[in-house]
Structure 1
């Protein structure tokens, strides 16, 4: 009797849940096109996202092709309005009083870094940005040029074997950026020991962050339970926290002012900092979260762009030759006449115009930032589409990067750095936003830009040539960002 009653109640609950979701999906209508959502999954299953058949940026391109420049995409139980034109982006990102960054930008990230600047809003975000923004300004980053150069040399010497086909360059690029972050943030060499516990812990931590972000279509309490009772994650998180706290204490006791990230943040330490009254600085817990957020952001984006640069160079060998020609013209290339590598300064980097164009083209084509999200703080209208307070919109950043209506110099899907010397030099200001835009643009973009351009120059300066192979198929592997899925290039080191 009890079993029958329990079964009947369970069936009733399931029927009510089905009716609830059915009504939810049926009644919400913004008169925009899009695929019909599936119960519970929304468009994540029928679009190919959950089955990993397509990356998210491929899905947004496919939807734009089928439905136009504005459409609806259901991310699990939530409908999002997607906008794909630079004019849309300009309207949304420029109105900071109507649109604020949504927690969906990096979903579930608040579970691992609840005080990270990317998940904050309002007064707390303003307090954090006053501390974080000066830390990542170009003037500060220039101080680390020699450090980044040394890391690039280590990457070349240890990872790039002459006349050898490399299939693990995505991992190698991640290791390179991790080493840069370790030295800039902590003065800590993560490459000193390939089996370093902190290095392994950080790599595993990134994997868990990726998992919880991909679980964002599920109710958040499921992700909370997953992390809370995952002993390996808890151990990794504790190890990283303990190391960071130890380095902070050492910095506080250091009489000589360092140039690293932690030194800059330690000076802002204020345990009385709050948002209820005028105050500044960060508490210790907030500072630790900001350090971890900065490490994660820098680790993923630059390594992704570097991996795509290597892939594109193997497909477009003439670009490599033109970079080396420019370096030769500036006496920065090792030749029979120049037997040493001149120190790379900010002035020398700024003088390399074609290298600048290559860096821009990598960031334009590489899907490092597929999209960003904003939440409406009040009712508004964008291009005749009514948006209600509390509704989240998706901005297709990668869509505008290759829109033929805004890129005129050569096919927009082709790797053509020269476009930035010709018709596309003065492209629409919102047709290319690799680091987002508006008041919530990436605060670390100066470091990412400098790091990417410098390593590109150093690779070519050292005579590295990347050659295509049959196995070098590209494709997309979605993690926190989108890496090339199948990369297999032959490395050749030019002889003097």
Structure 2
């Protein structure tokens, strides 16, 4: 009798918890339209972003585009357990970006990024954010990366050598690994620039390309594998539909994830220790980690006794969080952009020819040093190609912000604690915001003083977000993209091939699903 009552009570409790979670997290509230979410997956399965077995098969931007067609420019959306009010017009973005006293760090950042990198700038608010920003933001300015341009060009040259081994004088072989090649390029490049450490992935790729043994296939280094596992952890906590505290323990008791994290932490601590030993106070820091090491607190115990507003510098543990996040943000975004660039320009040989002519016109040859910012600035058409790549294939769905107090956007009241999404991925492809067809890849829309879309709405094209939470590394990312594209255009031409279908795939950023090109050497 007692056992029956106990079992019945447990069943009733489980049912009650289910309906409470369903009501609290998975029910459309208020008058703003939206698709009734499913338990755990939210709207992702309904909109075709995840498959029935919860595998990501499309992007969040695609979900927003579908919702906009049905519900208009303002609607509710669930990405797993996370609920957002989505706004799809430039004037909405302007309202959100310009009122920093109302729209601040999105709770999603602490529920996702915060679980894999607790002390990263992107997860912080208030005085702690200001303290970290003072240490991190100056390191990400363009002028800090210009001295590193020789490293960038050397890495691109390595990739071109790999491609020559694979594809030169082999017209029947199509390159289908552009995405992974771009990732290995950026992983090596960014770790060399930021940490003075060579992951060695390009060297391994070259060794594999030269090998006549078909079984001698490229494999990531141990650190590369650890990074991939760590990034997969972020992806899981974003879409699995579980509350943050459950995801915390899922990661905590995942041995594979914890081993990968430990390897990354040990590696990061070694770099920090090496920089501390080698730092010369009379010389400027030569890489990001060395710069960050110079901000370490001299007496952590004394700093802990202070109020947050009075603290200065970073603790060693906080520095570790920033190093891990820089590793994530520094290579994934640019690798995605390069992959999209190659996909699009392979379909337009005239665009590649125009870039090559611009280089020739400005006297930029294979022997020209690219560490002259004035010379790079002259390549205006290449800037337009970069902008068009980022416009038509945005790397993120938009900017998330959580309200610190009630606000009204376009007549819609949103309450304190709710999160809004300024969906710039939708705005950048919305025909109302562009004179030329926004579904087409047309760099000329930006080129020249009389360009049709040169004077677009200032908040219709913000691929790195806007406001005080704008992407901190956008200057460095644009410089890397420009140097890489110039170097590629000096040596190769990409041509369209069967299977070059594009499509979108959501990871930390949005990557193309299928890129297949032929590579010709100039």
Q: TM-score, normalised by structure 1?
A: 0.93
Q: Does 1:169 align with 2:197?
A: no
Shift of 1:49: 2.6
CA separation in 2, counterparts of 1:145 and 1:184? 9
Residue correspondence of structure 1 range 94-493 to structure 2 within 5 A: 94-105=98-109, 107-159=111-163, 161-162=167-168, 163=171, 164-191=173-200, 194=204, 196-215=221-240, 217-256=241-280, 257=283, 258-270=285-297, 271=300, 272=303, 275-334=307-366, 340-408=367-435, 410-421=436-447, 422-462=451-491, 464-493=492-521
The number of equivalent residue pairs is 486
Q: 3-state DSSP class of the match of 2:431? A: coil
CA separation in 1, counterparts of 2:30 and 2:76? 8
Q: 3-state DSSP class of the match of 1:36? A: coil
Deviates more, 1:21-30 or 1:431-440: 21-30
Q: Does the 8 Å CA contact 2:402/2:417 hold for their aligned counterparts?
A: yes
Closer, same or farther: CA 54–251 of 1 in aligned 2, 3 Å:
closer
Q: Does the 8 Å CA contact 1:21/1:40 hold for their aligned counterparts?
A: no
CA separation in 1, counterparts of 2:321 and 2:428? 32
Q: 3-state DSSP class of the match of 1:80? A: strand
Q: Does the 8 Å CA contact 1:145/1:345 hold for their aligned counterparts?
A: no
1:350-372 Cα deviation digits (max 9, x unpaired): 01010111111111112312122
CA separation in 1, counterparts of 2:228 and 2:163? 18
Partner of 2:90: 86
Q: 3-state DSSP class of the match of 1:34? A: coil
CA separation in 1, counterparts of 2:469 and 2:199? 30
Shift of 1:214: 2.8
1:255-302 Cα deviation digits (max 9, x unpaired): 544411111001100122765342321111111110110110112110
Shift of 1:474: 1.2
Residue segments in structure 2 that go unaligned for 5+ positions in a row? 205-219
1:233-271 Cα deviation digits (max 9, x unpaired): 222211111121112111111154441111100110012
CA separation in 2, counterparts of 1:104 and 1:29? 19
Q: TM-score, normalised by structure 2?
A: 0.88
CA separation in 2, counterparts of 1:292 and 1:107? 17
Deviates more, 1:185-194 or 1:143-152: 185-194
Instruction: Please point out which of 39, 44, 63 is paired with 2:67.
Output: 63
Q: Does the 8 Å CA contact 1:105/1:372 hold for their aligned counterparts?
A: no
Shift of 1:37: 2.4
Residue segments in structure 1 that go unaligned for 5+ positions in a row? 335-339
Q: Does the 8 Å CA contact 2:103/2:401 hold for their aligned counterparts?
A: yes
Closer, same or farther: CA 37–212 of 1 in aligned 2, 3 Å:
closer
